[in-house]
């Protein structure tokens, strides 16, 4: 056995727990998970059945964590995992799963297949079988701050420009601010206007906020590639900044996986409960809305719909918050079929947006989203995840669909009564 | 061996052996599953994991919206099979009497005619599901020899039970012995095959619901 395979198997063993055992023990090979998976529905390739993608993890569990499996292994009735197995499965585990969670919701016996793919990626990465794009992004995030190389100097310039544009100062590293706000690299690069929008919204709510020069990045490549070590380091960086700046809480931005990484996996990755609150920006804005701190005037009269980011709606439960905020700014809101918990993924989640070899497949699996949009013919598509927004724009352009994609935070800021309530 | 001797063996040592294997196997599978435990979750919960876990155990009996249209045969066939099997096993008078004899528990059953109908429907659903499995590329890829073994082990008690109730073919004593032996085969195979899902599904659904429930997410 090679060292890398040994590392991979050790990482996989670490991931096997009672839920994994219950999930694999319950699978009856009904195949319904495939019917919920955009990679299967759009290609018809049976290898994209979610439970099939988990075969290496299932084999290890069966062989080493069950008595009958151990007896079978001793009698030579089962084959141990090899480098070849992991190499074969790399494409299935990374290129054909956005961790969207639709399969987990569809499984009749309740198997959380998505959580198991996340676990399987830990072993794949430890063994060295992960896409180059994700590996390089992880290195950039660890050696710098941003997985795409957005440095502190660039961030400062963007912050200054957006503060000047909106006329509200944005102070970086402000000690004692109420909230430490994290931003995703995609926002810095493609949607920097969100900084000005945040400045307006925080001012209107009467809350202070800051961005840490050593922990501005929300994106957690460790969660996407499947490395607890990388993910924990990136979480700890933000926790340390929160302590250094003595903030009351940390805000995760319009980014689905960043919310899952920091809000839910974070305390388990660093091995300690947070002593500050961590909240998604949509949840915080809805809290302020409920408290009467956000007042808007006027609404967008064009026909708007909302794309539910998988990690924020299906696996985050924040779709009611998003819709309450949409109601503040959209006069003609229309839901697509399957909206909310059953929404279809944009195709770029789970690290696929950084996995360049999967681009063609990513565009292929945009099919369900395309059909959702074609059915309701919106004039604008709003979402609360900058990664979704980026992927949606790319796919819409690819399919010659003339549809602007808007960020919910920016929309709210646009219709905001800016004086504090 | 005479049919009487076969029946006595099936009722006595045969059943005792099958029940012991079943109980030992199921207990072992459940214990080795729970033994793996879960790491403590240090995140601050937004909702009740336990409550949603329990809710999910029940709610997953309903099909996922939108998926029935994509796989009508599996959904309808699966529903008919499970409901039919439940009725045949737990609502047939002689079965209730047998369970009462072993445990003291008692409940009302369905008329024999209804059970007969349920048996035919259950067998029909099994055949339809087997055909669907063989025709669908995903299910064909996922299916193992153990799945076919589990299918056969489930069919045999239904088939022999139907023949027994309707006094078809073999003498009553022989048929009863064969029926009991088929049940014993099912019990012996239960912990080693996908039949085990009849126990572990509750754990799987609970875990999925509990994980999502803490986040206030969907399950």
From the candidates A13, A30, A262, which should be mutated to test the interface with B, based on the most B CB atoms within 10 A?
Answer: A30
- Share the mean pLDDT of chain A: 97
Measured between alpha carbons, how far is B194 from A30 in angstroms, rounded to an integer? 11
Residues A89, A50: contact at Cβ < 8 Å?
Answer: no
| Closest-approach residue (CA) in chain A for B138 | A46
Let me know if A419 is exposed, middle or buried by CB neighbors in 10 A (0-12, 13-18, 19+).
Answer: exposed
Distance from CA of A234 to the nearest CA of B (A): 16
Name which of B28, B203, B217 is nearest A315 (Cβ-Cβ): B217
DSSP letters, B191-217, are GGSGGGHHHHHHHHHHHHHHHHHHHT-
Q: B56: which chain A residues are within 8 Å (Cβ-Cβ)?
A: 110
- Residues 267-306 of chain A with CB under 8 A from chain B are 267-268, 271-274, 277
The pLDDT score that the predictor gives to residue A64 is 97
B161 touches chain A (CB under 8 A): no
| Closest-approach residue (CA) in chain B for A344 | B66
The pLDDT score that the predictor gives to residue B44 is 97
Measured between alpha carbons, how far is B146 from A191 in angstroms, rounded to an integer? 53
Residues A66, A77: contact at Cβ < 8 Å?
Answer: no
- Residues 303-322 of chain A with CB under 8 A from chain B are 313-318
Q: Which helix (H) or strand (E) holds A320?
A: helix A319-329
Nearest to B29 by CA among B210, B203, B209: B203
Name which of B36, B60, B143 is nearest A108 (Cβ-Cβ): B60
Q: How confident is the model at residue B117 (pLDDT cuts 50, 70, 90)?
A: very high
The pLDDT score that the predictor gives to residue A418 is 64
CB contact (8 A) between residue A21 and residue B70: no
| Closest-approach residue (CA) in chain A for B45 | A264
Kindly report the number of other CB atoms within 10 A of residue A343's CB atom. 24
Helices (H), A180-220: 185-190, 193-205
From the candidates B47, B48, B136, B138, which should be mutated to test the interface with A, based on the most A CB atoms within 10 A?
Answer: B138
CB contact (8 A) between residue B218 and residue A115: no
Distance from CA of B141 to the nearest CA of A (A): 7
Q: What percent of chain B has pLDDT over 90?
A: 95
From the candidates B77, B200, B208, which should be mutated to test the interface with A, based on the most A CB atoms within 10 A?
Answer: B208
The pLDDT score that the predictor gives to residue B170 is 81
Its ipTM equals: 0.96
Kindly report the number of other CB atoms within 10 A of residue A4's CB atom. 14
- Residues 150-179 of chain A with CB under 8 A from chain B are none
> Residue written as tokens 């099997």?
B85
Distance from CA of A108 to the nearest CA of B (A): 6
B46 touches chain A (CB under 8 A): yes
Mean per-residue pLDDT, B133-158 = 97
Domain ranges of chain B: 3-30+75-215
B95 touches chain A (CB under 8 A): no
Residues 6+ apart with CB under 8 A from A338: A344, A368, A372, B66
CB contact (8 A) between residue B43 and residue A264: yes
CB contact (8 A) between residue B33 and residue A68: no
Which DSSP state fits A178?
Answer: S
B190 touches chain A (CB under 8 A): no
Q: A113: which chain B residues are within 8 Å (Cβ-Cβ)?
A: none
Q: How confident is the model at residue B65 (pLDDT cuts 50, 70, 90)?
A: confident
Taking each helix axis from N to C end, the angle separating B15-34 and B197-215, rounded to the nearest 10 degrees, works out to: 20
Residues 6+ apart with CB under 8 A from A139: none
Distance from CA of B98 to the nearest CA of A (A): 28
The pLDDT score that the predictor gives to residue A419 is 61
Residues 6+ apart with CB under 8 A from A218: A182, A183, A184, A252, A253, A255, A258, A262
Ranges in chain A, pLDDT < 70: 418-421
Helices (H), chain B: 3-9, 15-34, 49-59, 67-70, 72-90, 93-103, 112-135, 137-142, 145-165, 172-189, 197-215
Strands A405-407 and A380-383: what pairing?
A: parallel
Higher pLDDT: A312 or B172? It is A312
Measured between alpha carbons, how far is B125 from B142 in angstroms, rounded to an integer? 20
The pLDDT score that the predictor gives to residue B1 is 78
The pLDDT score that the predictor gives to residue B2 is 87
| Closest-approach residue (CA) in chain A for B55 | A110
Class for the domain spanning B3-30+75-215: mainly alpha
Domains of chain A (ranges plus CATH)? 3-130 (1.10.1060), 134-289 (no CATH), 293-414 (3.40.50)
The pLDDT score that the predictor gives to residue B168 is 81
Name which of A17, A26, A110 is nearest B39 (Cβ-Cβ): A17
CB contact (8 A) between residue A29 and residue B74: no
CB contact (8 A) between residue A26 and residue B201: yes
Name which of B141, B201, B205 is nearest A49 (Cβ-Cβ): B141
Mean per-residue pLDDT, B183-204 = 98
Distance from CA of A368 to the nearest CA of B (A): 13
CB contact (8 A) between residue B217 and residue A317: yes
- Residues 20-39 of chain A with CB under 8 A from chain B are 20-23, 25-32, 34-36
The pLDDT score that the predictor gives to residue A330 is 98
A376 touches chain B (CB under 8 A): no
């Amino acid at each position: 056995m090679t060292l890398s395979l040994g590392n991979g198997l050790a990482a996989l063993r670490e991931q096997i727990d009672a839920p994994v055992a219950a999930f694999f023990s319950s699978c009856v090979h009904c195949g319904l998970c495939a019917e919920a998976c955009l990679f299967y529905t759009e290609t018809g390739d049976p290898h994209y059945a979610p439970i099939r993608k988990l075969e290496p993890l299932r084999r290890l569990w069966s062989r080493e964590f069950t008595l009958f499996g151990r007896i079978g292994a001793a009698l030579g009735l089962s084959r141990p995992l090899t480098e070849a197995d992991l190499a074969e499965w790399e494409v299935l585990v990374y290129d054909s799963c956005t961790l969207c969670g639709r399969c987990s919701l569809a499984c009749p016996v309740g198997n959380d297949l998505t959580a198991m793919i996340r676990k399987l990626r830990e072993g794949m990465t430890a063994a060295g079988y992960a896409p180059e794009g994700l590996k390089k992004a992880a290195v950039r995030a660890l050696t710098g701050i941003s997985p795409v190389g957005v440095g502190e100097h660039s961030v400062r310039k963007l912050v200054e420009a957006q503060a000047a544009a909106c006329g509200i100062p944005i102070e970086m590293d402000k000690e004692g601010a109420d909230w430490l706000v994290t931003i995703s690299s995609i926002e810095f690069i493609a949607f920097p206007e969100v900084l000005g929008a945040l400045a307006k919204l925080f001012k209107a709510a009467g809350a202070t906020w800051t961005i840490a020069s050593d922990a501005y990045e929300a994106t957690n490549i460790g969660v996407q590639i499947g490395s607890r070590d990388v993910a924990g380091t990136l979480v700890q960086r933000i926790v340390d900044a929160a302590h250094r700046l003595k903030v009351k809480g940390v805000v995760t931005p319009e980014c689905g996986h960043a919310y899952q990484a920091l809000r839910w996996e974070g305390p388990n990755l660093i091995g300690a409960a947070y002593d500050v609150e961590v909240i998604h920006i949509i949840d915080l804005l809805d809290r302020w809305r409920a408290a009467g701190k956000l007042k808007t005037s006027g609404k967008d009269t064009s026909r708007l719909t909302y794309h539910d980011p998988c990690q924020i709606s299906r696996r985050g439960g924040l779709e009611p918050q998003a819709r309450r905020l949409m109601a503040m700014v959209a006069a003609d809101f229309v839901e697509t079929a399957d909206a909310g918990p059953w929404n279809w993924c944009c195709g770029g989640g789970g690290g696929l947006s950084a996995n360049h070899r999967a681009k063609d497949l990513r565009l292929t699996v945009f099919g369900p989203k395309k059909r959702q949009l074609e059915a309701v013919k919106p004039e604008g598509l709003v979402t609360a995840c900058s990664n979704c927004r980026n992927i949606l724009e790319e796919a819409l352009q690819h399919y010659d669909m003339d549809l602007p994609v808007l960020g919910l935070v920016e929309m709210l800021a646009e219709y905001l009564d800016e004086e504090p309530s | 061996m005479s049919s009487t001797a076969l029946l006595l063996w099936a009722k006595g040592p045969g059943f005792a052996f099958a029940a012991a294997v079943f109980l030992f196997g199921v207990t072992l599978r459940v214990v080795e599953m729970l033994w793996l435990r879960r790491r403590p979750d240090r995140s601050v919960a937004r909702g009740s994991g336990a409550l949603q876990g329990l809710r999910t155990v029940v709610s997953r009996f309903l099909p996922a919206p939108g998926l029935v249209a994509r796989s009508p045969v599996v959904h309808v066939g699966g529903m008919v099979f499970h409901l039919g099997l439940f009725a045949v096993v737990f609502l047939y008078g002689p079965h209730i009497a047998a369970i009462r004899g072993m445990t003291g528990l008692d409940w009302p059953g369905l008329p024999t005619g209804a059970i007969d109908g349920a048996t035919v429907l259950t067998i029909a659903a099994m055949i339809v599901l087997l055909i669907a499995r063989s025709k669908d590329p995903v299910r064909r890829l996922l299916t193992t020899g153990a799945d076919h073994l589990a299918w056969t082990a489930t069919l045999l008690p239904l088939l022999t039970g139907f023949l027994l109730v309707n006094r078809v073919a073999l003498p009553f004593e022989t048929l009863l012995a064969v029926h009991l032996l088929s049940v014993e085969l099912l019990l012996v195979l239960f912990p080693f095959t996908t039949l085990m899902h009849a126990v572990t599904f509750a754990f799987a659904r609970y875990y999925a619901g509990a994980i999502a429930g803490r986040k206030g997410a969907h399950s």
